[in-house]
Amino acid sequence: MFYRRKFYKMKKEFVERLNGRGWWMKELDEDTVEIFAIWEYDSYEKIEANVRSDDDHLKNVQDWYRKNGGKEYIGKYYIKEVKNEYIDSII
């Protein structure tokens, strides 16, 4: 099994726009939060390829960015850091 943790450090005021996505949140300070998700994969490459070739998914992502000011705008004004980490289970 393969595990991945993706997180975004962002301004707290942006969190509401991410509600309903099934991610978790940790408050870092008065103005900043970390939003993160952990995924489990049998085959990361296969699943990632399927997601990236799913036209409905791509349209939803593009629509969400457009609705929220565009990818560059969000990155410039709200997102402080984005990181993917590969993690191991000790179970």
| pLDDT value of position 9 | 97
Q: Which sign does the torsion angle of CA 79, 11, 36, 57 carry?
A: negative
| Band (62; pLDDT cuts 50, 70, 90) | very high
Q: How many domains does the chain have?
A: 1
**Is the pLDDT at 49 greater than 90, yes or no?**
no
- Tell me, what CATH number does 74's domain have? 3.30.70
pTM: 0.76
What is the model's pLDDT at position 15? 92
Question: With 90 as the cut, is the pLDDT of residue 89 above it?
Answer: no
The domain containing residue 16 runs over which residues?
2-87
pLDDT confidence of residue 69: 95
Q: How far apart are CA 76 and CA 82, in angstroms?
A: 12
On the question of pLDDT at 34 being above 90, the answer is yes
